[in-house]
């Protein structure tokens, strides 16, 4: 039975205060515009992280690039910098116009983190970064590395032997486990991944094949994280990657911004007062989309507007941000089951750290039905020949929601953007998919196909 009280308040009273909650509880697709959205300078007050931290993270990844190029040969052509392509998806835009039966002005681009090398998802950003930072900290502390050396030297039996005395632990719905597991195992760490019930079998199999210990749970993400945290605490040589609170993960993600800026410039796409940027990011616990959005805000300030996209069954950031209670409330508190085919987004309680950091910087959140993610998956495959996992499609309807809904239009009006619609660049962040085995991708595709009939 659903508890009718949440934080000592009746759900009916919550709904009175936040009427949209009624639609959210009814699992309807919802768009929430953040009433606290502020000018950049105001939004940044009381935030301890700055561009200096982002640059520090970027430099660290640069230091590791020669090592990455050596141990993951597929990254050699990018000199060990793991970055994803960005592409125009004009055909998909036409498909969206057909679906909503309206003209959609502006550019639509897809940022293909689905095709990040080595681990095939957005987690290759934060996950790799956090493991590398931990390895660097240990190696510097024990004087087996200095910061001006060529980090290729980390690829040695002696150093793997050293790291094998230490363990790395993480809780995950799948993709974070993949990224943390792959990078930790490569460096020589002992690594344990606590997987929630949502995690797909092939992700567990892949990790086990790399010598990673995978512990499975029948409950959701929050439980997997809690157990991981507990296990790690008991061992002083163990390092817990805290997806719910980690500043390192967040900073690893934030490096995406300066790299995206270079890509946009090379495509002659401007971001300025007259050419705003709208970004739609699929959100689970919030670290990935949050870090990227934060990096973009530091760079483009009031000219970038970002929205988080979640499944209708897991709208944790939406509820946490709207109520201002962040990690004090879960979707389950409101009777929502957190069961979704978008496994990367199957999180019932958002990161409090991310929610609070972005409290005045985030433009809003919206939710998408699982069936629509499947349909878009199939449309994306047919129209653009790009194959994504269901989670990665959540960003796609963002452009439609902003340009065609009452709430979206109101947002454009308040921000004086109504006469700039043609100049807006919309980026949907595609967060995963290239590592999905073919037979499973076929299942996804066929599911979407049958729903479209």
Q: Does 248 bind ligand PLP (CB under 6 A)?
A: no
Q: Pick the binder of ligand PLP from 106, 171, 177, 344 (CB under 6 A).
A: 344
Which one of 331, 392, 403, 435 is in contact with ligand PLP (CB under 6 A)? 392
Based on the shown chain and the rule CB under 6 A, indicate whether residue 364 belongs to the binding site for ligand PLP. Answer: no
> Nearest distance from residue 180's CB to ligand PLP, in Å?
12
Say if residues 37 and 360 touch (Cβ distance below 8 Å). yes
Question: Min. distance of Cβ 199 from ligand PLP in angstroms?
Answer: 10
Reference 347, options 196, 217, 235, 229; nearest CA is 196
The C-alpha atoms of residue 117 and residue 82 are separated, in whole angstroms, by: 6
**Least distance from C-beta 317 to ligand PLP, angstroms?**
8
Residues 218-247 that bind ligand PLP (CB under 6 A): none
Residue 448 phi/psi, 5-degree rounding, is: -60, -40
Judged by CB under 6 A, the residue of 122, 206, 396, 436 near ligand PLP is 122
- Give the strand pairing for 304-311 and 213-216: unpaired
Going from the C-alpha of 129 to that of each of 81, 203, 312, 335, 344, the distances in angstroms are 12, 20, 30, 36, 19
Q: Does residue 330 touch ligand PLP according to CB under 6 A?
A: no
Residue from 80, 289, 408, 448 touching ligand PLP (CB under 6 A): that is 289
- Least distance in Å: CB of 305 to ligand PLP? 18
Cα distance between residue 198 and residue 183, in whole Å: 22
Q: How far is the CB of 34 from ligand PLP (least distance, A)?
A: 17
Which of these, 358, 431, 453, lies nearest to 124 by C-alpha position?
Answer: 431
Q: Residue 285, interface with ligand PLP (CB under 6 A)?
A: yes
Beta carbons within 8 Å of 150's beta carbon, 6+ residues apart: 66
By CB under 6 A, tell whether 345 contacts ligand PLP.
yes
Query: How far is residue 160's CA from residue 167's CA, in Å, rounded to a whole number?
Result: 12
**How far apart (Å, rounded) are the C-alpha atoms in residues 165 and 155?**
16
Question: Is 282 among the residues that bind ligand PLP (CB under 6 A)?
Answer: yes
Give the gyration radius of the chain's Cα atoms. 21
Pairing label, strands 9-10, 277-282: unpaired
Q: Are 370 and 311 in contact (CB under 8 A)?
A: yes
Q: For ligand PLP, which residue of 60, 123, 190, 204 counts as binding (CB under 6 A)? A: 123
Task: For the CB of residue 243, give the shortest distance to ligand PLP in the complex, in Å.
Answer: 7
Q: How far is the CB of 150 from ligand PLP (least distance, A)?
A: 32
- Binding string, residues 162-181; x marks residues near ligand PLP by CB under 6 A: -------------xx-----
Footprint on this chain of ligand PLP (rule: CB under 6 A): 121-123, 175-176, 282-289, 344-345, 347, 389, 391-392, 431-432
């Amino acid at each position: 039975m659903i508890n009718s009280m949440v934080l000592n308040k009746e759900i009916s009273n919550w709904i009175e205060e936040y009427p949209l909650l009624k639609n959210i509880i009814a699992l309807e697709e919802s768009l929430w515009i953040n009433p606290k959205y502020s000018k950049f300078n105001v939004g940044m007050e009381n935030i301890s992280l700055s561009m200096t931290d982002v640059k520090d993270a970027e430099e660290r990844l640069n230091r590791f690039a020669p090592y990455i190029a050596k141990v993951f040969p597929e990254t050699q052509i990018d000199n060990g910098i793991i970055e994803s392509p960005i592409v125009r998806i004009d055909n998909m835009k036409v498909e969206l116009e057909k679906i909503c039966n309206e003209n959609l002005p502006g550019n639509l681009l897809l940022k293909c983190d689905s095709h990040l090398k080595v681990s095939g998802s957005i987690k290759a950003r934060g996950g790799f970064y956090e493991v590398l930072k931990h390895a660097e900290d240990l190696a510097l502390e024990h004087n087996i590395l200095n910061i001006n050396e060529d980090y290729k030297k980390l690829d040695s039996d002696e150093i793997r032997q050293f790291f094998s005395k230490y363990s790395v632990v993480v809780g995950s719905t799948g993709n974070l486990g993949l990224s943390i597991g792959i990078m930790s195992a490569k460096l020589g760490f002992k690594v344990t991944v606590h997987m929630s019930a949502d995690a797909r079998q092939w992700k567990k199999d892949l990790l086990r094949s790399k010598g990673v210990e995978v512990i499975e749970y029948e409950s959701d993400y929050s439980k997997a994280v809690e157990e991981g945290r507990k296990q790690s605490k008991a061992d002083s040589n163990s390092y817990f990657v805290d997806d719910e609170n980690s500043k390192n993960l967040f900073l690893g993600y934030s490096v995406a911004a300066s790299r995206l800026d270079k890509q946009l410039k090379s495509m002659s796409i401007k971001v300025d007062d007259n050419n705003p940027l709208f970004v739609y990011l699929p959100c689970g616990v919030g670290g990935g989309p949050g870090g990227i959005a934060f990096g973009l805000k530091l760079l483009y300030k009031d000219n970038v507007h970002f929205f988080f996209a979640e499944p209708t069954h897991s709208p944790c950031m939406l509820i946490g941000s709207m109520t201002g209670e962040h990690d004090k409330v879960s979707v389950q508190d409101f009777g929502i089951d957190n069961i979704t085919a978008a496994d990367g987004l199957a999180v019932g309680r958002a990161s409090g750290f991310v929610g609070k950091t972005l409290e005045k910087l985030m433009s809003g959140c919206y939710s998408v039905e699982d069936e629509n993610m499947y349909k878009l998956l199939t449309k994306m495959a047919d129209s653009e020949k790009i194959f994504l996992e269901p989670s990665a499609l959540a960003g796609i309807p963002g452009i439609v929601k902003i340009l065609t809904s009452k709430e979206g239009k109101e947002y454009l009006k308040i921000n004086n953007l109504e006469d700039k619609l043609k100049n807006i660049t919309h980026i949907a962040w595609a967060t995963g998919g290239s590592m999905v085995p073919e037979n499973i991708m076929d299942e996804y595709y066929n599911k979407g196909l049958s729903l479209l009939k």
